[in-house]
Structure 1
């Protein structure tokens, strides 16, 4: 084995052993009170070291299979340069992508230092707008929960229940109160949901609708069960989602077989990789291979497959009336993608496109159009 290959092999073994030393250092620093070891992403760093170290070892073994002729020392120099060049290239591409993937899919509690965005909190509550509401907490296992707000309709006989889900890093207060008020005025009880990782719910991760689909199932089943207990088993349940919330709804329908009576999808996207690329493109960051690396490392960190997260495929399973609302000026998802999504839905569907709206809820841009579109759609429910 040549010297460069031996060095690459040593780098691989050192990388594999790095988590052990890091763990010891964290334990010592934690006991000394210097850091809070519980908030350090040790599992994710360990996964990166495992893949990086294994890659270095495999590369060293492959490159060492060919003996270097003594009569041609120039090959030795080229091979050494190739080994180091390959190692530097792999590291420079993957390590920043790994950190960015962690930052984009994790949230930090107030005062917590590290990667991730600050966990979104509530800036207002419905009573600040003069709206009566109640808070409900749904337990998930022993240590997790979902927080919901319930705004009842003032009509004597409710027409059903609308469950509302926010977009990426959105909360009940930031995105769901205005549409809930409109649904309530139309005669529907409303349930506003914080996905895990935001607002009053537990958790510190965001997976762009993948894990959030289970949150949709949890709330849907809870509302359905309460309807049955109250003797309203036939009461319609409508799901409303914004951006990431639409992906979670469609995934829940396709993979968990929930059966809402209607769905309202506002500002959806059709493929996760396209959504990531559009954001990279907006910030003038090369999309290839950045988008692929981001999704790859996020998938490793969360134990998911982000490459198969395509709401346009989930839409094939929709069997209930569907209203899709979008903005012609949306910089993330073009109208052509939305039209393709609508065509994929086999059930009755309607598409409303606002010429003036971008990636913002239509209710905040053109409320009369939003109210009229939703009201007309729900007349048949």
Structure 2
């Protein structure tokens, strides 16, 4: 028998083995990254910087080892009067700060973003109080003073939004939901899929879909998103018992008739204009939109304080 006839099957088996090993390795890396993204640790230390702030060597290190994700902690407390309350959610016990004002126009419930906590929203809360609203700032499950260490980037957190909203709706007055990034995503899912019906929404930079936001993170590090972004979303959902490809604010918006103000920063590298355009176009109720020049994925009052305050106040006056 010619030697070539025996070499071809052997080379095919070797190639097949390499393909299988490569497939297993890529999935193992994605599985590990997904776990680090969705499970906070109790180890001390700083959270990994945003992708835009990393050096090329640091980006390689993150791709190989994953991000550092210690559980966010509240480092400050409100300067205005407040009391700590505990609410029950499907995700466990939530810690919240409640601050009432005399003769309130209603209550604004504030929800933070990924790797954050309620103390990061004290500036916004103080402004809402100045407009005549009581405020309730809540740590999502897994964050700050709330129970657990799991974060699903908006999916399970929607149940926390529902618990907070229903607690407030047992009291008199309008209930306005305010959230940024993950908090905004959780608000939109809570209304679309969990039957939450607030008086109004103020949502800052919700991402279009979980797959899109994962892809954007890879693109911000100048790494091709496929197939790692797809595998990251797949394993993140499997690990936390939900189908993460359905975490999609563009679709959620089609079921939302609540008056909604959508805010977006024009320098945002993590949530694109196309995502924001699609969400806004799909909202079914009364809606307004405001873009903020020079602002990235950050609080808009930092670089556009007057515009942010005027936009928020103007929207609330029509309720």
State the TM-score, normalizing by the size of structure 1.
Answer: 0.75
Kindly indicate whether residue 116 of structure 2 is the aligned counterpart of residue 170 of structure 1.
yes
CA distance in 1, matches of 2:293, 2:43: 39
CA contact (8 A) 2:89 2:160 kept: no
CA distance in 2, matches of 1:93, 1:190: 45
Aligned residues: 298
Aligned-pair Cα RMSD in Å: 2.0
Instruction: Identify the residue that residue 176 of structure 2 maps to in structure 1.
Output: 238
Kindly indicate whether residue 169 of structure 2 is the aligned counterpart of residue 220 of structure 1.
no
Q: Give structure 1 stretches of 5+ with no counterpart.
A: 1-68
CA distance in 1, matches of 2:107, 2:114: 23
CA contact (8 A) 2:38 2:151 kept: yes
CA distance in 2, matches of 1:178, 1:349: 24
CA contact (8 A) 2:250 2:275 kept: no
CA drift at 1:139: 3.0
CA drift at 1:284: 2.0
Question: 1:59-138 maps to which residues of 2 (within 5 A)?
Answer: 72-110=5-43, 117-126=69-78, 130-138=79-87
CA distance in 2, matches of 1:189, 1:70: 83
CA drift at 1:200: 0.3
CA distance in 2, matches of 1:348, 1:319: 7
Q: 1:79 to 1:267 in 2, by over 3 A?
A: same
Instruction: Identify the residue that residue 5 of structure 1 maps to in structure 2.
Output: none
Instruction: Identify the residue that residue 149 of structure 1 maps to in structure 2.
Output: 97
Q: Deviations over 1:337-377 (max 9, x none)?
A: 21221111011111111112111111222221111111110
Instruction: Identify the residue that residue 187 of structure 1 maps to in structure 2.
Output: 132
* Bigger RCO of structures 1 and 2 (CA < 8 A, at least 6 apart): 2
CA contact (8 A) 1:267 1:361 kept: no
CA drift at 1:71: 9.7
Secondary structure in 2 matching 1:325: strand
CA distance in 2, matches of 1:91, 1:352: 45
Secondary structure in 2 matching 1:366: helix
CA distance in 1, matches of 2:44, 2:278: 44
CA drift at 1:149: 0.6
Instruction: Identify the residue that residue 206 of structure 1 maps to in structure 2.
Output: 151
In terms of Rg, which structure is larger?
A: 1
Secondary structure in 1 matching 2:25: helix
Q: Is the deviation greater in 330-339 or in 99-108?
A: 330-339
Question: 1:270-289 maps to which residues of 2 (within 5 A)?
Answer: 270-289=208-227
Normalized per residue, which structure has more helix?
Answer: 1
CA distance in 2, matches of 1:307, 1:110: 30
CA drift at 1:294: 0.4
State the TM-score, normalizing by the size of structure 2.
Answer: 0.89
CA drift at 1:224: 1.2
Q: Give structure 2 stretches of 5+ with no counterpart.
A: 46-64
Q: Deviations over 1:290-334 (max 9, x none)?
A: 100101111111111111111010011111111111111111122
CA contact (8 A) 1:151 1:180 kept: no
Quick one: which of 292, 312, 322 aligns to 2:230?
Answer: 292
CA drift at 1:75: 3.6
CA distance in 2, matches of 1:118, 1:216: 23
CA drift at 1:70: 11
CA drift at 1:109: 1.3
Instruction: Identify the residue that residue 61 of structure 1 maps to in structure 2.
Output: none
Q: Deviations over 1:214-254 (max 9, x none)?
A: 010111111112x0xxxx2xx11100010011110000001
CA distance in 1, matches of 2:88, 2:266: 39
Secondary structure in 1 matching 2:308: helix
Kindly indicate whether residue 307 of structure 2 is the aligned counterpart of residue 369 of structure 1.
yes
